[in-house]
Chains A and B, each alone.
Chain A
Amino acid sequence: MDSLLNLDRPPVFCPGCSHTRVTRALDNALSLLKRKGHQVAIVSDIGCSGLFDTFFHTHALHGLHGRALTYAAGIKLARPDLTVIVTMGDGGLGIGGAHLLAACRRNLDITLLVLNNFNFGMTGGQYSVTTPTDALVGSGFLNRLEHPMDVGRVAVAAGAGYVSRCSSYRKDLAAELAAAIRHEGFALLDMWGVCTGRYTRRNRMGPKQIDEALGALEPLKGPVAANQRPEYGRHYRQAAQGLTDPAPLAVPLRFAALTRTRQEILILGSAGQRINTAGELLCLAGMTGGLQATQKNEYNITVLRGPSLSEIVLCPTAVGYTGITKPTVVLALSDEGVQRRRAVLRHLDETALIIRAADVDLPPNAARTTTIDFKALQIKGPDRALAALTVLAAKKTVVDGDMLTTAIELRFKKDVRQKALALVARVCSGLQ
């Protein structure tokens, strides 16, 4: 198989830099695997490892520092047949830590080649996440205060299916690279090397020292038995099979509108009273009568506690402004809901209608008020809003019972629909 090296752009690394060896070994590995240039995408990070894509006749993407794994994932998901290889230094491991963990957990078929030379070569030899505590680097005393990260062990803990650690001087480096690339799933190869431009000026580090240091560690030799599982892209496509394509709920025009003017309806309640759903039902009911609708909801971020409000505008023409300053109808279902709009309620005149739960206090106002004793009717909190809508529909001002029933039939299925219709029927019989 031919070499994929770009002879017009030979490696430009410092004399003695181990990256040159890795470049040749990667080319040999791709030859061993019989990959053609267009079957491979090299995604390179920043720093000296970021030069790798230029040495090869393959697809290439060179992006931001630490983010190479994210581009590689996008490419691999879009083009599952491509061999996607990421080259990254120990700097990229640090700044892109979240992406490293995500890649290990996700298990997309990407090979991460870590060109680990224990410092930031390009910017002046500052310490990285793998710099030994006793090294002399360009960050003064700072590396003495922090613990170096063993990226291999991190990758195993995060779920990588293939983790290997070796010296860049290993004679069979090409075979090591080929094995990592061949693994179907996320594979990490942590290759230890020397940075002659910076690191070895003040630290003893060569093939012998690397072998000694690696010998002192528990070896990582490829497949991690406990982490074997389906490759993410394959798994994703399997999981997506058979999923159906939902269409937006279609609301038919079935009735004549009951109103010719803009109606502003305020539903004031609490979390758990299904205020949001009641607002949606009111919109749908209005739409079956040809009205246009908007609905804004307001609730606390802790969704199971506190006030819950819904503001609905129904209008025979385009709604326009979606705010409510002078409601025509208020459903007052809880004290904490009412508390949020006390000022608005105070200014209501006799043209407004309030449907109020008997246990809710209202500020003084001039609106027409209908009171419902939910407790006497044995209607529980979650049913209050729909029961109040039923009372509103019985008055046939904004929507009527047929519209509300149609909305329920559109919105709910099976049991929920039956329960909602039964509640409407019960409230109606109570009103008679």
Chain B
Amino acid sequence: MVASLLEGNEAIAWGAVDAGCRFFAGYPITPATTILNTMLKLLPPRGGICLQGEDEIASMGYCLGASMAGLKTMTATSGPGISLYSEQTGFAVGSEIPIVIVDVQRLGPSTGSATKGADGDIQFLQWGTSGGLPVIVLAPVDVKDCYLLTRHAFNLAERYRCPVFIASNKEIGMTRESVNLAALKPPEVMARLQPSPGSTPFLPFDTSHGRKVPCFLPVGDTTLVRQTSSTHGPDGYITTDPDQIARNQKRLLHKLNDAVNRFTFYRRLQPAGASTLVITYGVTSRAARAVYERCRQQGAPIGLLVLKTLWPVPEKLICDTAAPYRRLVVVEMNQGLYRREIERLLPAHPVDFLGQMDGRLITPEQIEEVVRHG
């Protein structure tokens, strides 16, 4: 067996190039900078482009332009940069431009603490654009996930023509870890759906083929392509027709919300005799897993649900998993951002909560205390 010692950030870069990413633009920011550094090493030798943007808004703009010209693109930042991405992210949502956006979260708000981890952005990633439409957010636990979920993120961005966020954390992105990339089983590389030949004229947002995602042709080929951030009809021109607008808004809502069961990633451990279920995600899952092992060894097992798809909320998975348990414990590196989703879905279940927002990892001992004593 041959292993490598990689940061989570490096694993994301490798996942990206292996998924076919050939364009990256980003602005330096701790703790995401090593993604930019690694992409700069990996892309030019492959004929790809890696740019250091003059700011985060520009970095997103470069990516969206390149994506519309047919390249698979990625950008990476942390909370302050995600804030600046907001308007461009809305463009990618409403105008269906594939892009993978990595948020290596640090303690916020604002500039916060550059070198301290947190999971404080996970509602912001979903709701940080105007218009209220869904996005996809995947949350890695370790270096292995950084690689695999990035591979999935590109497939989802292509398949659903949407931005896909990877909600990493300084504690994963800047932590080195031994990993055997060759032993992982990534998904097949997927590309954007193209219109069948002869189906003219090409309308860039046409969904009359019955699918919820329009076919894609790149800016620059022989067929003319229109893209606009304005409210548009199937032809890519501005529309003021309320029925057409409503149909498009509903489609953008349902194309992701109705499909989440197809990309619900998770790890679930359900030993017999457990009455408490711990629900967590991200780096905190590692401490929760240690508690799971301890409880099992001590003869007082608990269930564990590690969510790796955070948005759209995998409601079926959460409800089906939680149903047999008497008590839920939600643990996260913030002050209760995802707890509200769990409580919304499971109003009859008592929920104990452990959150921490001080730059430190939540320890197994802290979780064990809540599991035992509430």
- Give the size range of B's interface with the partner: 35 or more
Is A77 within 8 A of B1, CB to CB?
no
CA distance in complex: A70, B73 (Å): 14
Is B283 within 8 A of A322, CB to CB?
yes
Is B219 within 8 A of A70, CB to CB?
no
Chain B residues closer than 8 Å to A9, beta-carbon distance: 237
Interface segment, one of B176-184, B252-260, B265-273: B176-184
CA distance in complex: A279, B5 (Å): 11
**144-193 of chain B: CB within 8 A of chain A:** 171, 174-178, 181
Q: B227: which of A37, A61, A244, A295 is its contact (CB, 8 Å)?
A: A61
Q: Using a Cβ cutoff of 8 Å, how many contacts connect chains A and B?
A: 216
Is A38 within 8 A of B223, CB to CB?
yes
B128 within 8 A of A: no
CA distance in complex: A376, B66 (Å): 60
Is A75 within 8 A of B219, CB to CB?
yes
A5 within 8 A of B: no
Number of chain A residues whose Cβ lies closer than 8 Å to a Cβ of chain B: 67
CA distance in complex: A38, B1 (Å): 51
Is A280 within 8 A of B5, CB to CB?
yes
Chain A residues closer than 8 Å to B53, beta-carbon distance: 70, 102
Chain A residues closer than 8 Å to B65, beta-carbon distance: 43, 61, 70-76, 78
**281-295 of chain B: CB within 8 A of chain A:** 283, 286-287, 289-290, 293
Is B88 within 8 A of A67, CB to CB?
yes
Q: Quick one: CB contact mask for A123-164 with B, threshold 8 Å, 1 for yes?
A: 000000000000000000000000000000000000000000
Interface segment, one of B38-46, B207-215, B309-317, B324-332: B38-46
Q: How far is the CB of A184 from chain B (nearest CB, A)?
A: 18
Q: How far is the CB of B232 from chain A (nearest CB, A)?
A: 9
Is B88 within 8 A of A321, CB to CB?
no
A215 within 8 A of B: no
Beyond A64-B87, A293-B178, whether A57 also contacts B69 by CB under 8 A is no
B216 within 8 A of A: no
B222 within 8 A of A: yes
A31 within 8 A of B: no
* Chain A residue nearest in CB terms to B48: A240
Q: Quick one: which of B3, B87, B181, B290 has the most chain A CB within 10 A?
A: B3
**CB pairs A–B below 8 angstroms (11 shown):** A38-B223, A62-B229, A62-B230, A63-B91, A64-B229, A74-B62, A74-B66, A78-B65, A293-B176, A322-B286, A323-B363
> 10 extra interchain contacts, Cβ-Cβ under 8 A, other than A9-B237, A38-B224, A323-B361?
A75-B69, A77-B51, A78-B71, A82-B219, A248-B6, A294-B176, A294-B178, A295-B177, A301-B114, A321-B364
Which 8 A/B pairs are nearest by Cβ-Cβ distance? Answer: A74-B65, A70-B61, A78-B69, A240-B44, A71-B65, A74-B66, A79-B220, A248-B4
